[in-house]
Structure 1
């Protein structure tokens, strides 16, 4: 006579996976909820900016945008002592300010000043917002002020839990790993028995108690799983780009798209200015729109000019043109149209995480994935609590029955 196989829930591996899923979720529910909610807020930051006062307090001027050199000069004049412009992000449409990221000042030759320093130490930065037409400072007069504002605080909370050194980003990265563990283990635990597939995707009308929380937990989880896993994986990549980039490259060959281009300084030569570098980059991609400029931090670095190819969706990976300031030539062009499969995967991680590049459907899917951790935390915790309560009640009944029998 054949022996019926044990239900899956009675197998040791299933119980172990269930325990891992339960306690990872219970222990980390609060930081995971914080990451999810802050991520959703950042997805709709443009919609929220004007509502909460993070928009520029001053009205911006109408007219053509000033040259890049003029915007950087205005930022340099407004920058606190010990800082200088390092990176410029231009507005995508008229009526928006340009953003200038400040870095610790360097002497000519790219070295940091020696001796006691009164300004920011290495690694600390500030930001300024400049009207690209009138060149008036509209926000962030110093690094402390530049770090203020609700959305800026949300960004820091999501990126490093307000822990300023590298360890903050690493903690966030490992929380992303925990999300991946919860997602994959949840899929295995959810997997329905034959004949139960339709019911596994829904919540039965009239469900109450543990059944309601279990079905809600499972149904919402499976419908959102793909987006949840993509967003979680991309978050882990952004925290550990070198490690995961190397992993992707071992499967799908890819260059390190984050690497700078090294140039050879020419003794006695004068490097070209930023406006000429921008002109050379735009000539290399005439149909593309200028979006950002990264200034060389050392004499052996090239200008890094960010461009948006014509017809590209908002937030999709842009092109980068490196310009040699000593030879006045384009050193390298990194155009998404020519990326390998591995480079495409790597380049898309940030847009996917931010809900960009694939239109409004993807944006709102990512937004919803961020508000799901509170739902999972509540339903998961209630399932654990109600089961624990029921188990204790049964133990009390059993103990009372044994006492009565004595």
Structure 2
């Protein structure tokens, strides 16, 4: 039984990793608050599911650009310095949202400034995530890497459990300005945690003299070549681009659950409940050899849960489907993250981790934009059912075609460091 529980040895054995993990948890909490606050604000301003989907679209491309730039910077400069700069940018972005909500940056009913600040926040978050995630491997031993990845996933889902519900309560009781003010304080705490970390320089010989665009291209070329990593990323893309439901939460909340901000927060929290429980019992995943098969199974279960959400008639069925989706997502994310971290060599860790982050975050943003666009024409149930079904088809195709992912084992060695 104990072997199935979350493996916390990385926290016990590495105080530096523990500091990084705590700062990551606070940053994840701030991110969850921001998602719900922005969705609520834009829905209140427009009442249009296409506009709530646009929030994801506005965030996706800056997040993608920020992640790729951050990955190259993390393979070139001290990763701690890169992370400090990115976290400071996030502080400015969420402070701007607080000032706008207070009426100090234009009219509070104007959506344009909100979308602009969302884009800035997404770009700096992407840059920071690439540096933050590429710092993990130097701080723990190789045999503890899967456990460290699972701990990171747990912080995200635990923040998702508390953050959205608290956001709903704050929005209902105190309004947008106080919610954004709390987010700013959390961003400042995450920045303070990074200040306590030691320098994490790039691998020897990887100085700043190389062309950044060439380095970024090398990272992209690596993840698109045939193999387990391409299959892992492709599986996640099918699940997130085609079966992402978050942009439809305000619409589902209005039409099925009464439209209160508290229930909107509970929808995101339901996903986090499932995700947190799966994270607590992630020991079976991190100790398993067949990480590729586990990832694909988790992604398929996620897609089925989204199809179930399409037909859920009330509060209990909606929350149950979202909890199952959250658990399946955690299983898939932990398996994919462990596979990627085990497979890549240190010299390209920042760039490949950046692509991993871009797919994990920008992918859902684009998926939310797709969901909002389809729902504006066909309605939320059709958008969810169609997306979940197509996602299952795509995952099945990868399972059939990508033997490297299907046969990947935890004990497989990292690729040889053949990239310049």
Q: TM-score, normalised to structure 2's length?
A: 0.24
Give the TM-score of the pair, scaled to structure 1. 0.25
Quick check: which one's strand share is greater? 1
Which has the larger Rg?
1
